[in-house]
Structure formats: structure tokens, C-alpha cells
Amino acid sequence: MTTPPTALMITPDQAIDGAPAVRRVFALDPDHGPVVAAEVLATAHGVCEVRVNGAPVSTDLLTPGWTSYEWRLRYAQWDATPVLAGRAGGRAVIEAVIGSGWYAGHLGWDGSKEVHGSERAALVELRIRFADGHVQTVGTDETWTSVPTETTADDLYDGQRIDRRISAADRFAAAPMPGEGGVRIVPFDAARLAAYTSPPVRRQEEISPIRVWRSPAGALLADFGQNLVGWTRLSVRGAAGQEITLRHAEVLDAEELGTRPLRRARATDVFVLSGADDVFEPTLTFHGFRYVEVSGWSGADEDLAEALRAVVIGSDLTRTGTFRSSHPLLNRLHENIVWGMRGNFVDVPTDCPQRDERLGWTGDLAAFAETAVYLYDTEAFLADWLRDLAVEQEHADGRIPIVVPDNLKYEEIGAMAAAMGSSLVIALWNDAACWVPWAMYEAYGDPGVLGEQYASMTGHVRRVAAALSPRDLLEGGFQLGDWLDPTAPPDAPHLAKADPAVVATACVHRSVVIARDTALVLGRDDDAAEFAALATRIGGAFAEHWVRDGRIHSDAPTVYALAIAFGLVEGTDRAAAGDRLAELVAESGHVITTGFAGTPFILTALSETGHLETAYRLLLQERCPSWLYPVTMGATTMWERWDSMLPDGTINPGEMTSFNHYAFGAVGTWLHRVVAGLAPAAPGHSRVRIAPRPPETGLTSAETALDSRHGRIATGWSVEGGRLRVVATIPEGVTAEVSLPSGFAVEVGAGAHEWEESFPGVVVRSAASRPWVSTGESEG
């Protein structure tokens, strides 16, 4: 295990426009034979890129990412052996280019920048091992120098300016450079240093434009066919000093680049040509975009398509869960969910990746976590984020911030945020503290995350206990509620139909139940008893004050969805609540009537109370608002609003109109668990439930596969000629509880299995006729 770096944090002692580099020319220690290994440890106030003798030592991007810097600053550990191996003595040069990143660039929607500090700085340590075992260490200290680089401006929101007339190669020569100055040591508490345990951000893929054309106003536009996150790489040759400007946007607006939804984020890169062959790649920024407008291009329009590539970046996560069906729009919806996740898992799980926001909004992840943990292996990524959640909570008097890392604590964020501050608990958002670790435990089966987050989880639910009204409800304070209910006024997304107190009480009740179950897993019986009692108190108050004759206070779909999904109504009340929910959905014409809180649970609430066909009508609805409406409008990611683009093709006039927000993608869980029919029945999928529930019309097949900790679990079904055929592949170590629509149930172990029954309609089962056949080895 590498020991943490002991180098110093340094910053240029001179004003440098754009991204400076700090560098050091040094001699390799002689007389120790050739270099056999080398390692670089690096971190920054800002983001850094380290090169040795001109060669990048890593393909990682935006190092050290974004954490709660006040308490946790990660450092990367890179193998630099390929750069130095075999060298025996002689001169070498190491540099770190320092971008402003999240530390010193724009952050938040009020124009704030330098939220964490104004001084970009880097801490780099190169450890070189020679053949005789000797180790030479070259670390940032006062002997380093500072120089300007070809990046003359950079910002995550605004973009990057690269002037290729400024040579990067000169920095790797021993000669002093124009503008070379000294550095200063930045006081820095090394106790904040933490090794990376989560995947770095890396390039993921490249995409070519599908179309290059001139807009009515004459702008040269390129369409990549996919709303994505990253940047464009341009290969070009032109006159020295010629400037090419690239503006990025997710949509077109009246056939021109639609930048209004970006608000203050300029998302503009400027490339200044050297006169020779240039390749520009702005790695100190990122944009959320599908379209690029290029000005200053002097070649033929059609040559741009060859010269331009979109580079998709994101945290380097392994894909684990897939879904396919016979319904092309549903398949595209699922792809949009995946793309929404890819674009917003760029080191921090964010609300959106394009406008002047891109923050770790906790409520968005609370809604989406269950889907996320299925699609990708997010265990290390989310564990890292949860550490920040806990450390922020610890330093905020037990309050969980609505964004993690919490930049808002430093910013002027307006009246609504002030109101949020006055609430002890902001349900759903704060509930991320319990919902996210629980989703991880369910998916991956390691109770370690529960142990690590235990103080955070229990701190949250004890705070909930303290915030309850005398009636044992969470009522009174400000709530974001069923955020973005489609019937809320566009400029007041918190004014939903569902009473915010009902939504809040239901959400925190779920957290208390999770805390109780967590305490049981960890053998903390006293705590378990405390939280069980608290859950009973809240649940009892909910029923007493808000449930009457099968109606739930405020009578909105979301309150039924939450009460059913979280077990707050039982017996006849549950059945009545399900019936009322189905009635409300039908009355709405089977369009969406729920926001962030209700949407992840409405289909489950319907299917669990006998309203499967209603659930499918809602799922397969194409009229706005619905999950498939954006797909019919050409969406390639999940939208923030159900109608981010209006049916007439214009952009929603609301201030808050992103085309890449994952929260409503939480429907992915129902696609995996109910449509395709694979759900965890024990933590880590050691037991699963194979229970596909096909609709009577609209779909003829669906399938899902999950690379679980036990291996690949796959299942699928198809309907033909009144017969339903279900297949499943179960790996060693996994038991599957199979339940088919007819009521047939069986438990099977490892192997390939197949069943058949008549569909639709209930099959009369008898051992003699056996309308279903299992071709695998079955257990139990």
C-alpha cells in the first residue's frame, strides 16, 4: 500500500491567465542503474494533469474530482513506469497543469466562482525506483517554477481557450521559459488527504457527427445524434492565430443552437491555431451537449464532420444491468435512462451536466439510486460520495445538505434555499442518507456500507424524530415535496398536488424503517428497537390523521404511491388506496401526474395492488406528460421536466429546463423488476425473484440480465399464440424464487431454466398436465 504523499501544495507566485503549470527540471540520480518503476501521486486545489518528459502519466481526467474539500481531498496514484523505465541518469522534467475545476471555477447558479478558494495549487510527488533499490523522490516544493500554458482560460461551465501558438513542448526543455516565475507554498493540512477508492473520470467513447449543416441564420452546426457529456476534439490545420469557436447545446431552438437552458454556463471552447497540424481537446472543462456550433472554420463545411469528434467522459463504471423488449420506444427509454446516468455520474452524482448547476442534489439520487445500482457497478463510486455526505452532515450539526459536496453553504442562493435552511429535515433529499446505502446493500450484499454510514443514517432518523410535530408527523417546515409534479406552476416546482407534509412523512418513515433494518443487520438490537418504535409511531400517526375510508389526505396519486410502496397502508386500506390510485390515473387519461417523490413508486404501487394493466397504460403512454413522450420527441436522455420540450418543438420557457436529469429514470427499476421480472430477494442477489408480469397487450417480449456479485443472472419472456415462455439463467450460489402470472411458483438453483404456460388467463395447474416445463436442475 502506497504511503500518502509528503510533498507540499504549491501555487504560482505570479498572476497567470488561464491554467498555469508548475514544473521542475531535475537530474535522475546517477549510479543506481536504470529506472525499474515510477509512481506519481497527485492532487490539486483545482484539477491537475501531470506529464513527465511531455508524456501524460495517466488517462484519468479532472483529478482529483470533486469532494468535500474542506475535509477530504483525494490524491491519485499513477504508475509512471512506462514514462521513465530504463533511464539511467540524465535530465527529466515533470509538470502539473492546474485547471480551475470545481475548486476555483464557477459553481452554482448564482454566478459564484472560487467557492473553495481563488488559488489554484497542486501537490505532486514522483517516486522513482532504480535497479539497485534506490528510491528518488521529486515532490512539489519551493524549488519548482511556474509558467503559463496554452490554456489561456478554463472553467467547467464556461469552457476552455487553447492557444496552440504557445508551445507545450518548451516546458519539457531545460531552458528557462518566457514568463517563468516562482511558486509559493500553500498552507495545507495533509490530514485531509485520502487515496482514491472510487473510479476516476476517463474518456468512455468517441462519437462522430451524424450531420453537419448550415442553420437558417448561416451558423455551421454539427449533430452527434446523442445528448452526451464530455467535449469535442477538433483536428485542424490553418493559419497561425486563426480562432475557431465551438458552442455546445443539448437542443436546437427555432433551428438554431438552443443555449437558453444553459443559463449562465457559456459552454464555449475557443481554439487558436498554431499554423501546423493541430489537435484540440479541452480536458479542463466539460459540456452536456448534442449539438455544436462552429464558427471560424475556414474549410469546406463537409470536412468538419471528419475533423470533429465528441469525446464522452464519465466515471469509469462497469455496466452491469441491461434491458430489452419488443417495444422500440421502451428500449429507447431504457437507453435514455442509461445515458442520463452516464452523463451525470461524472465523479459526483449530479442533477444535470450542462447548465450552471451540476450539483450533487441528494433528492435526485435518492429517487434514482435503486435504478443506478442495477445499471452499473456503483459500489465504490457511491460509497465515496456517501463519505462526503456523512462528513458534511457531521460539520452541519447533523443536518444533511441538499447537495453533496455542499457548495451552497458558501453561496447566496435566494429565498427558497433560505426557506429550506429553516426546515430541520427536507424529506426525500435528506433521505438519501438512508435510501442510497440501502439500495447499495440490496444490490451488492456487502453490509460494510451500512457500517460505514451507520452514524449518518441513525443521525438522520434521530433528527427526524426531533423534527416531528406533536402529532408525530413531519409537517410545518419547508419541503421540496413532490418536486416537478407536472401540474405545478413552471416557476414553482415545489407546489405539487400532493400535500408536502404527507410526502415528507412517508419518505422519512421509509428512512426510519431502513435504519431499523440496518440496525438489525449490524446486530444493534437496542437501536433496532428504538427505530422500530419510531416507525410505528410515525406509521400510526400517518394512518390516524391522513387515512380515512381508503382516502389519503390531499388525494393525489403521489400520496397513494408512497403509502402503498412504503407499507403505510395495510389490508383493506391498502386495497382501497390501490383502487383510488388506479382511478386517479385513469381520470388523468393515463398520463403522469407525479413528481420526484411519487414517480419512482407509482408503477410498483399499481402493480402490487392488482392494477397491472393500469400501470402498463401509464408506462406505455406517449402523450405528454409521460415517460415515452420525450422519446417520441427524439429524446436521447431523460429530461428534467416531463415537457422540457413542448409538443410544438419549442423549449419549455421555465428557468429550469434540463434535457439530462436522471430522477424520472427511476422507472428503470420497474422495467427490470416487473416488466422483465428480476428483483433481489436477498441482499446482493444471493436470492432473486423471477416474476415477470407481461401486459395483456402492448408487449410481446422482454428480457434483462444482471452481472451480480455471484455472476450473470438473466431472465426473459415472450408471448406467442396464447403461450407465455419464460427463461432464466441462474449462476452458482443464487437461488431463484420463480413466480409466473398464473400463480405457478417454484424455487430453482443454478442452471438454465424454461417454463411455459398459457397466457393470458389463469392456467389450471395440475401435476399431471404440467403446462410449464423446467428444463434445468431445480432445487426445492
- Terminal alpha carbon distance of the chain: 46
Least distance in angstroms from the C-beta of 351 to ligand BGC = 4
Distance CA 160, CA 286 (A): 9
49, 357, 442, 475: the catalytic one is 357
Q: Which stretch binds ligand BGC (CB under 6 A): 133-141, 181-189, 356-364, 500-508?
A: 356-364
Least distance in angstroms from the C-beta of 349 to ligand BGC = 11
* CB of 562 or CB of 699, closer to ligand BGC: 562
Secondary structure string (H, E, C) spanning 617-680: HHHCCCCCCCCHHHHHCCCCCCCCCCCCECCCCCECCCCCCCCCCCHHHHHHHHHHHHHHCEEE
| SS3 at position 9 | coil
* CB of 366 or CB of 724, closer to ligand BGC: 366
* CB of 313 or CB of 656, closer to ligand BGC: 656
Q: Are 16 and 64 in contact (CB under 8 A)?
A: no
**Within 10 A of 113 (CB to CB), how many other CB atoms are there?**
16
User: Which of these, 664, 656, 644, 660, lies nearest to 253 by C-alpha position?
Assistant: 644
| Residues contacting residue 553 through CB under 8 Å, at least 6 positions apart | 499, 502, 545, 546, 547, 559
Q: Are 161 and 150 in contact (CB under 8 A)?
A: no
Least distance in angstroms from the C-beta of 504 to ligand BGC = 14
Measure the CA dihedral 649/367/227/310, to 10°. 170
Q: Are 612 and 695 in contact (CB under 8 A)?
A: yes
* CB of 126 or CB of 496, closer to ligand BGC: 496
Q: Which stretch binds ligand BGC (CB under 6 A): 350-358, 368-376, 380-388, 743-751?
A: 350-358
* Packed helices 500-521 and 557-565: angle between N→C axes, nearest 10 degrees: 10
Least distance in angstroms from the C-beta of 401 to ligand BGC = 12
Distance CA 446, CA 434 (A): 15
* CB of 361 or CB of 454, closer to ligand BGC: 361
Q: Are 56 and 203 in contact (CB under 8 A)?
A: no
Q: Which stretch binds ligand BGC (CB under 6 A): 17-25, 316-324, 358-366, 744-752?
A: 358-366
Q: Which stretch binds ligand BGC (CB under 6 A): 92-100, 141-149, 359-367, 758-766?
A: 359-367
Tell me the Ramachandran region of residue 400: left when phi exceeds 0, alpha when psi lies from -120 to 50, beta otherwise. Answer: beta
Least distance in angstroms from the C-beta of 47 to ligand BGC = 23
* CB of 34 or CB of 654, closer to ligand BGC: 654
Distance CA 663, CA 340 (A): 9
* CB of 352 or CB of 433, closer to ligand BGC: 352
Q: Does 341 bind ligand BGC (CB under 6 A)?
A: no
Distance between alpha carbon 560 and the CA centroid of its chain, in Å? 28
Q: Which of 8, 73, 352, 675 binds ligand BGC (CB under 6 A)?
A: 352
Q: Which of 154, 155, 269, 351 binds ligand BGC (CB under 6 A)?
A: 351
Q: Which helix (H) or strand (E) holds 518?
A: helix 500-521
Least distance in angstroms from the C-beta of 596 to ligand BGC = 7
Q: Which stretch binds ligand BGC (CB under 6 A): 86-94, 221-229, 357-365, 530-538?
A: 357-365
Least distance in angstroms from the C-beta of 44 to ligand BGC = 27
Least distance in angstroms from the C-beta of 363 to ligand BGC = 5
Distance CA 194, CA 171 (A): 30
* CB of 110 or CB of 301, closer to ligand BGC: 110
Distance CA 403, CA 108 (A): 11
Q: Does 485 bind ligand BGC (CB under 6 A)?
A: no
DSSP for 687-728, written as a single string: EEEE-----SSS-SEEEEEEEETTEEEEEEEEEETTEEEEEE
Q: Which of 163, 356, 357, 475 binds ligand BGC (CB under 6 A)?
A: 357
Q: Which of 128, 222, 252, 656 binds ligand BGC (CB under 6 A)?
A: 656
Q: Which stretch binds ligand BGC (CB under 6 A): 233-241, 361-369, 668-676, 689-697?
A: 361-369
Q: Does 413 bind ligand BGC (CB under 6 A)?
A: no
What mask of x and - would describe binding to ligand BGC in positions 141 to 180, judged by CB under 6 A?
A: ----------------------------------------
| SS3 at position 390 | helix
Residue 703 appears among annotated catalytic residues: no
* Packed helices 432-444 and 448-467: angle between N→C axes, nearest 10 degrees: 150
| SS3 at position 534 | helix
User: Which of these, 368, 349, 369, lies nearest to 359 by C-alpha position?
Assistant: 349
Least distance in angstroms from the C-beta of 647 to ligand BGC = 23
Residue 392 appears among annotated catalytic residues: no
Q: Which stretch binds ligand BGC (CB under 6 A): 144-152, 355-363, 617-625, 699-707?
A: 355-363
Q: Which helix (H) or strand (E) holds 203?
A: strand 201-207
Least distance in angstroms from the C-beta of 641 to ligand BGC = 10
Q: Which of 42, 461, 480, 705 binds ligand BGC (CB under 6 A)?
A: 480
* CB of 263 or CB of 687, closer to ligand BGC: 263
Q: Which stretch binds ligand BGC (CB under 6 A): 77-85, 349-357, 407-415, 688-696?
A: 349-357
What mask of x and - would describe binding to ligand BGC in positions 292 to 331, judged by CB under 6 A?
A: ----------------------------------------
Q: Does 361 bind ligand BGC (CB under 6 A)?
A: yes
* CB of 183 or CB of 656, closer to ligand BGC: 656
* CB of 352 or CB of 763, closer to ligand BGC: 352
| Residues contacting residue 337 through CB under 8 Å, at least 6 positions apart | 371, 375, 638, 662, 665, 667, 668
* CB of 356 or CB of 573, closer to ligand BGC: 356
The DSSP letter of residue 63 is B
Least distance in angstroms from the C-beta of 360 to ligand BGC = 10
Least distance in angstroms from the C-beta of 510 to ligand BGC = 18
Cell digits of residue 73:
481531498
What mask of x and - would describe binding to ligand BGC in positions 363 to 392, judged by CB under 6 A?
A: xx----------------------------
Least distance in angstroms from the C-beta of 288 to ligand BGC = 12
293, 640, 703, 757: the catalytic one is 640
Alpha helices, DSSP H only, in 212-327?
301-307
Q: Does 659 bind ligand BGC (CB under 6 A)?
A: no
**β-bridge mates for residue 724, sequence order:** 719, 757
How many chain residues bind ligand BGC (CB under 6 A)? 10
Secondary structure string (H, E, C) spanning 114-157: CCCCCCCEEEEEEEEEECCCCEEEEECCCCCEEECCCEEEEECC
Cell digits of residue 12:
504560482
Burial of 238 (0-12, 13-18, 19+ CB in 10 A): buried
* CB of 185 or CB of 417, closer to ligand BGC: 417
- Catalog residues that contact ligand BGC under the rule CB under 6 A: 351-352, 357, 361, 363-364, 480, 483, 656, 661
Catalytic residues: 357, 640
